[in-house]
Each structure stands twice: as C-alpha cells, then as structure tokens.
Structure 1
Amino acid sequence: MFGCNSEKKNDYASSENLVVSDTTASVDTTSIAKIIKTADMRFRVKDVQGTKEQLSASIKARGGTIAEFSIESSIQERDKVKYSVDSLKEITSCRKEGFVIAKIPSEKLDDFTNSVAKMAVFVDHQAMKMDDQSIAYLANKLKAQNRVDAMNAINKTATRKGNNIETSLYIKDDYVDKKIENMSIDNRVRYSTITLNFYQDNTVNAIIVGNDNLYDYRPGFFQRLGLNIIDGWIYFKEFLLGLSRLWAIIALGLVIFFGVRYLIRKRKV
C-alpha cells in the first residue's frame, strides 16, 4: 500500500510539473538602461494632405510606422449668393487639420523631428520627454527570477492538495505579467512615439449649387395676380353655395327681423 501511494504521488508530481525555465541565471544590474522617448509637435503647413503624404514617406524611410492618423475639415463660415434663377454660388471658408501618431526608431527620433520642422511654415510647439524605466525594468526582472525560484521549490514538494496548484498558477501568471511588462518597455525603448498636429490657413471654396429657396420658383407677378383673381371668384362662388344651404335659416331670420320692426313702429304710432 505504501509503495502504491508513493508511486501515485510521484506520477502526480511529474504530470502536474509547472517548472518555469529562465535562461537568465543572474541579473546584471549595471548594464540596464531603459530610456523611453516621446515627442509631440504642432505646426502650420501649406497643404495638410501633401504634408501627410510627406510624413508617411519619411516615417517609412526611417523604419517607422503610423499608428494613427486623421484629417478633418471644419467650416468656419458659409454663405450663399444668388447666381441664376435656379442656382446659387456657395462660398465656404474652412480650416483643415491633420493628426498623426507614429512609431519611430529611438535613435532616429531627433533626425525625424528636424525633417518635420523643415516641412513646416511655422512651428507652434515642439517638445520631447525622456522617461527612465531602468528601475522598473530591473524590478520586473528580479521579481521574475524570484518567481522561477519559487516555482522550482513548489514543484519539488508538489502534492495532490489543491492549494499548491492554485499557488503555482498564481505565481506562474505573475511571472508572465512581469515578462510581458518588460517586453512592453523594450518595445517602447526601441520605438519612440511622436504625436504630430498640423494645420493650414483657412481656404475659401466656391461651388455652384441648386437654388433651394422655394420662393424663387414661384410664377411671375401678373401670372400670380391672374391666378389669385380666379381663386377669389372660386371662393365667392363657394360662399354663395354655402349660403344656399342655409336659406331656411336666413328666411326665418328675415321674418323675425321685419316682424319685430313692424311691432316697434306700431307701438310708437
């Protein structure tokens, strides 16, 4: 019986082995330098669409990628003037703005910002931020190594108890989280994020559109006058027809009126 139990216990330990291997036997605390660079610029250009195309080519040439971009036109003022009987000239003043978020290799960030400044007519704002994540990176690496040691210790004394499995899974998940955090830091160190906001002077566009003023489509004065006379005659005939339906009431009203009048005159006499 003891031999069977021992054999089952060893089989369980081998089947539930959660050993996490790490090639890093020791951590060199002096060689870690994790500097994350971010930059942003706002500038005026001659043509927003053309600048966006130039930026795309420049980013691609330096091994970077565009993470997000948008171009928006906002109407500042709009007016419509009469152009002909059935058309209007629509005059619009609009402001066009562009927005780009790009990932640039960190060693080429300065060169890229200089090239962007040359595209601009006027630079409103330019800034760069350097965030040192060396301590956080080192902390994650040391904690990950601690998780490896803890996992190996737990696996050596693995039993059928559920709390050991739960503890092992928790430690393993936390180990993965630390590794992913460091992978994210490495990626942000290699590729800097730059945010570009650019705009151009207000532009005026004029196009011919259909006349949407319904008053202009009405007939001329004399034609409308003749039509109104005809409509007035129709309304008068309808009025007479309406009175004809009330002849009995009108007749009774006349009899009462003249009867009262006759009685008043007779009394005065």
Structure 2
Amino acid sequence: MIRQTLNTMLVTGIALFAACKGKSSYRENLKVSTADSASVGIAKDSSFEAKLVKTGSINFKVKDAERTSEAISDLTNKYNGMVMHHNVTSTVEQTKDFHLSNDSILRVSSITAVADITVKIPPAKVEDFMNEVSHLGVYVTERKMDITDKTFDYITEKLKAKNRAEIVTQQKTGEVKIKDSGILLNMKDDMVDQKVNNLRTDDAVKYSVIELHCFQNTKINKEVIADDDPSAYQSSYSSRFETALQNGFEVFAELALGVANLWSLVVIAALCWLGYRYYKRKHSKPILNNI
C-alpha cells in the first residue's frame, strides 16, 4: 500500500516537472520567435545600407587668394561637385599718401586678402580633391576629414515615421480613435520632420561638404590718384603775382578801350570847358577899373 502510494506520488511529480519544463520551453521559444520576428521586421523595413557622412576642411596659405579661389572652382567642376559658398575679402591695413604734384597723389596701401569657399564633392573623390587643393597652397596649416555613421539614426527615423503612419492609417479606418486633433497634427508634423531629416542624410551621404579657407601675405598696392583736397589746387605766390600783373594790364587795356569808345564825349566836354573859359574871360571886369 505504501509502495503504491509512493509510486503514485513519483509519477505525479514527474508529470508536474515535465509540464513545467514544457511550459518554460514554450515561453523561451515564444521569446526567441518574437525577437526573430522583430529582427525580421526591422530588416524588412530597413535595408541597413550604411549612411556614412564624410566631411573635410583645409586651412592653407597661398600666393594669391583670388586666383586660388578661381582654381578651386575649376577643380570643383572637374570632380562633378558644386560650389555652395564663395567669398573673397580684401582688407586695407594701412595707407600712406605721397604728393607727386599739386593735383596728384601716390597712394601706397598694405592689403590682406582671404578667401572662404564651401564645396560639395562626391565622397569617392574627396581625398583626390583635397590633395589637389593642398598643392595649390604654399603650405597647409590644418587639414581635417571626418566620417560620421548616420545609419542607425536613419533607421530610427524611418521606423518612427512608419509607426506614426500606421497610427494615422488606423485613425482613418476607425481602428484607433484620437479625439484630440492637436495630437494627430503633431504626429503628422513629426512624420514630415523625420522624412526631411532622412532626405538631408541622403544628401549628405551623396555629397561631402568641404570647407576651405585660404590666406596670403600682406601685399603692397601703389596707385596714382587725384588729390581730393581743394586747397591743394591753389597756385603758388609767384604764379599768383604774375597772374595779378597780367590782370592789371588787361584792366588798363580795357579802360583805354573804354576811353577810346567815348572819344566824342571827351571832345564835347573839352569844347564845353573852352567855351566856359571864353565866356568867363569876356564878361569879367578888371579890378583896377573899379578902383
């Protein structure tokens, strides 16, 4: 009797142990299956294509900043790139004027020039492009190239956009009810932002951004310009004295011409004066006769 009871208990324990083990194994298999399904879903939703963003920069000294910037533009076209920013700046550091004559000046200026250029180059040609640009300079002060992996950021944005798209679809079909329209609008805006971010990533992968800064030694520029000071155009004292004598002679000549033009008036005045003298002499009485 006792032996039979023990056998029954043993069989029951084995059955319970087998059942628990089977249930645990089922749960483990379910977890593995669920994880595999998630992995397959991610793999199916995203291609896992590497999104590597390559960027670079060069800071270098050149002989002529303006000509070097033109050469960089030509190289960019050669490598099927695009010039996104191009700025050449010349700054006058010092200026000194030397008078050459009364109305002209020799202006000597010290000028510094720099050029800032931003280009987009296909990633496969970045190193060749940067090598050729470096050869345009006298020496390179700094050269950098970085590669940033945006793969998982790209996948994250893509999966988030998909999840939001599914919720929006379920909202339309009635499977999900979102009463607050603001939440739905924010969700749609997030979808737009995620798609735009991925488009930016695609563009950054397709074209690498290279920033270039070149500078040159200070150069001396000489130019002859007109004197902008009106007082500088005043003649010297001797020149003005000579001019005054000439003006005086011209005034005397003009006066003589004026008198010559009025000769008839002079004759009439002279005749009047002579007539007056004659009249006065004829009508005046001698003083002795009155005595």
Superposition TM-score tier, normalisation by shorter sequence: 0.5 to 0.7
Residues 154, 168 of structure 1: 8 Å contact kept = no
Residues 171, 178 of structure 2: 8 Å contact kept = no
Residues 59, 104 of structure 1: 8 Å contact kept = yes
Taking the TM superposition and a 5 Å limit, the aligned residue runs for 1:224-235 are: none
Match status 1:132 vs 2:141: no
What residue is the counterpart of 1:11 in the other structure?
none
Match status 1:171 vs 2:187: yes
**For structure 1, which segment, 150-159 or 101-110, has the greater mean C-alpha deviation from structure 2 after superposition?**
150-159
What residue is the counterpart of 1:195 in the other structure?
211
Structure 1 Cα separation of the partners of residues 220 and 185 of structure 2: 64
* Deviation, structure 1 residue 107: 1.5
Aligned to 1:84, which of 101, 123, 129? 101
Match status 1:205 vs 2:221: yes
Identity of aligned residues (%): 28
What residue is the counterpart of 1:113 in the other structure?
130
Amino acid at match of 2:143: Q
What residue is the counterpart of 1:145 in the other structure?
162
Match status 1:184 vs 2:197: no
Relative CO higher for 1 or 2, CA cutoff 8 Å, sep ≥ 6?
1
Aligned to 2:92, which of 75, 99, 105? 75
Which runs of 5 or more residues in structure 1 are unaligned?
A: 1-24, 227-269
Q: Structure 1, residues 178-211: CA drift from partner, whole Å, max 9, x if none?
A: 1111111111111111111112222211111112
**Judging changes above 3 Å, is the alpha-carbon distance between structure 1 residues 204 and 152 closer, same or farther for their aligned structure 2 residues?**
same
What residue is the counterpart of 1:267 in the other structure?
none
Structure 1 Cα separation of the partners of residues 184 and 178 of structure 2: 10
What residue is the counterpart of 2:139 in the other structure?
122
Larger radius of gyration: 2
More helix, by proportion? 2
What residue is the counterpart of 2:52 in the other structure?
35
Match status 1:97 vs 2:114: yes
Structure 1 Cα separation of the partners of residues 62 and 238 of structure 2: 57
Amino acid at match of 1:209: I
Structure 2 Cα separation of the partners of residues 200 and 192 of structure 1: 26
* Deviation, structure 1 residue 72: 0.8
SS in 2 for 1:163: coil
Structure 1 Cα separation of the partners of residues 240 and 52 of structure 2: 81
* Deviation, structure 1 residue 147: 1.2
Structure 2 Cα separation of the partners of residues 188 and 107 of structure 1: 13
Residues 48, 155 of structure 2: 8 Å contact kept = no
Structure 1 Cα separation of the partners of residues 199 and 222 of structure 2: 53
Residues 37, 130 of structure 1: 8 Å contact kept = yes
**Judging changes above 3 Å, is the alpha-carbon distance between structure 1 residues 167 and 211 closer, same or farther for their aligned structure 2 residues?**
closer
* Deviation, structure 1 residue 221: 3.4
Structure 2 Cα separation of the partners of residues 63 and 114 of structure 1: 16
Please tell me the root mean square deviation across aligned C-alpha atoms, in Å.
2.7
Amino acid at match of 1:27: I
Which runs of 5 or more residues in structure 2 are unaligned?
A: 1-39, 243-291
Structure 2 Cα separation of the partners of residues 146 and 153 of structure 1: 11
Q: Structure 1, residues 41-92: CA drift from partner, whole Å, max 9, x if none?
A: 1111122222112111111121110111111110121110011121111111
